[in-house]
Amino acid sequence: MAGLLLLLAAVWITNAPAARAQEGPAPLVLVLELDGAVGPGTAEYLSQGLETARERSAELVVITMDTPGGLDSSTRDIIADILASPVPVSVFVAPAGSRAASAGTYILYGSHLAAMTPGAHLGAATPVQMGGSNPLSPAEPEGEEGETVPAQGGDAMTAKVTNDAVAYIRALAGLQGRNAAWAEQAVREAATLTAQEAYDQAVIEILAQDLDDLLAQADGRTVQLDGAPHVLSTAGAAVERLSPDWRARALAVITNPNIAYILLMIGVYGLIFEFMSPGAVGPGAVGAVCLVVGLFALNMLPVDYAGAALMLLGIGLLVAEAVMPGLGVFGVAGAISLAIGSMLLIRDMPGYRLSPYVVFATVGVSLAFFLIALRSALKAARLQVVTGAQSLSHALGEVRHWAGGEGLVHAQGEDWQARSSAALAPGQKVRVTGRDGLTLIVEPAPDPEPPAP
């Protein structure tokens, strides 16, 4: 009996490594975090994460989400990367209190596996009007032929934007068999759902308490990956979180509307200083770098060109006030134009708003600077000229030699030929009243007033 047990133990020890080798390494799950507004930095970070998942043959990518929305272009880039990914992607709206609003709803619908935690919510996916911040008007009930009747006050552009968004999200819903009818309500009527309601209405597939619960429920589930069924194997998976690299972080910083606006203003004023004081080098170099970075950031943001034109007009008027003082008219008009243009520069999008405090502070500093420059220019204009030909006017001198209405006068450290209609004598003090070429016209200087007793 003892020999039989020893034989079985030897066989088990021999075959255990082979069994573990056949099982293979634990599946890898990469976790990415989308926390905040959806923008170019977010799109860059998620694109890099999906590429890393492909290179490392991950079993699943989980994007934990809490977003108020963001830019349409970045949202579409993220969804395109998800749909093209050979690794399944799950969007998990967590922790409790998180939301997948506006752009987040589209990204959730574009994922291969949608999950939420209790206490989260999603929806309000109505697109923003192209020219402003007002949401599109909700649709009215269906018409006689089953067509949705646009709300009163809508226009052609509103209908185009709305219908395009509806078609987009319905197409995404069809990829994984999600509730397309509610998706249309989220676009047309800004409808929202809690996590439990989303689960009950087949908007999401999993209602999970945390990441471990999500992976446990995802194991063995079938998703559509590039049009073909794919069975997830997440039991005992090794979980690894990926953080954004320096490039994605830098992109997220400079595409912040407030940072981009400040960089733009620094760049403009740096170049103005360089033009006003050629050779300073420093202001011009810093201004050029900031201007290029600011313009690069604005290129990725929803910029209103009317606002940009008003900003340039305001800066031009402030410069004109400093160079050609106009009794403050240019300065006041420039400050107003700069303030209005700054407020209109960035279209009001979820998570991308230009702070009015930043605008008022920048306009105030600009106005104060040009007022100081104006004051310095007016003060300099009132000062007496001390160099050049004009400095000789009313200058005092002393007669060196005089004969027949002409002679030699010493003024401002030099001897000058001079003439006068008055009789003068050597050593007498004179005052310059004019100039004829290199000959000064002088007159006797008035006697100094006696000191007060």
Question: Taking residues 295-314, what's their average pLDDT?
Answer: 83
Residue 240 has pLDDT above 90, yes or no: yes
Question: Taking residues 321-328, what's their average pLDDT?
Answer: 64
**What residues are paired with 399 via a beta bridge?**
409
Residues 6+ away with beta carbon under 8 Å from 168: 106
Residue (of 229, 238, 220, 211) closest to 24 by Cα position:
238
Contact 350, 102 (CB under 8 A): yes
φ, ψ for residue 445, nearest 5 deg: -75, 140
Residue 152 has pLDDT above 80, yes or no: no
Residues 6+ away with beta carbon under 8 Å from 84: none
pTM over 0.85? The answer is no
Query: What pLDDT score does 238 carry?
Result: 93
User: Residue 380 CB: number of other CB atoms within 10 A?
Assistant: 8
State the DSSP code for 352. B
Residue 310 has pLDDT above 80, yes or no: yes
Contact 257, 354 (CB under 8 A): yes
Strands 99-101 and 206-207: unpaired
Take residue 183 and report the two structure tokens written for it. Answer: 């998706």
pLDDT, averaged across the chain: 80
Query: What pLDDT score does 147 carry?
Result: 41
Residue 128 has pLDDT above 80, yes or no: no
- Give ∠ CA 181-185-189 in degrees, rounded to 5: 170
Give the integer Cα–Cα distance in Å for 252 and 45: 9
Give the integer Cα–Cα distance in Å for 90 and 113: 4
User: 404 pLDDT band (50/70/90 cuts)?
Assistant: confident
Residue (of 256, 267, 389, 367) closest to 322 by Cα position:
367
* DSSP tally for the chain: helices H, then strands E: 14, 16
Query: What pLDDT score does 149 carry?
Result: 42
| pLDDT tens, position by position, 338-380 | 888 888 887 766 667 788 888 888 888 877 777 676 666 666 6
152-185 as b/e: b if 16+ CB within 10 A: eebeeebeebbeebbebbbebbebbebbbebbbb
Strands 396-403 and 429-436: antiparallel
Contact 229, 181 (CB under 8 A): no
Sheet with 206-207, strands from edge to edge, namely 206-207, 113-116, 89-93, 60-66, 28-35, 238-241
Report the share of the chain in percent with pLDDT over 70: 78
Contact 133, 195 (CB under 8 A): no
Burial class (CB in 10 A: 0-12, 13-18, 19+), 101: buried
Take residue 360 and report the two structure tokens written for it. Answer: 């008022």
Query: What pLDDT score does 184 carry?
Result: 93
Query: What pLDDT score does 354 carry?
Result: 81
| pLDDT tens, position by position, 1-33 | 555 555 555 555 555 444 444 455 789 999 999
Q: Which domains does the chain carry?
A: 19-246 (3.90.226.10), 255-382 (no CATH), 389-444 (2.40.50.140)
Q: Which of 98-112, 277-291, 322-336, 405-419 has the highest mean pLDDT?
A: 98-112
| pLDDT tens, position by position, 171-197 | 999 999 999 999 999 999 999 999 999
Give the integer Cα–Cα distance in Å for 439 and 436: 5
Residue 260 has pLDDT above 80, yes or no: yes
Per residue, what are the HEC states of 16-65?
HHHHHHHHCCCCEEEEEEEECCECHHHHHHHHHHHHHHHHCCCCEEEEEE
Query: What pLDDT score does 376 carry?
Result: 66
Take residue 435 and report the two structure tokens written for it. Answer: 């100039």
Residue 151 has pLDDT above 50, yes or no: no
End-to-end CA distance of the chain: 138
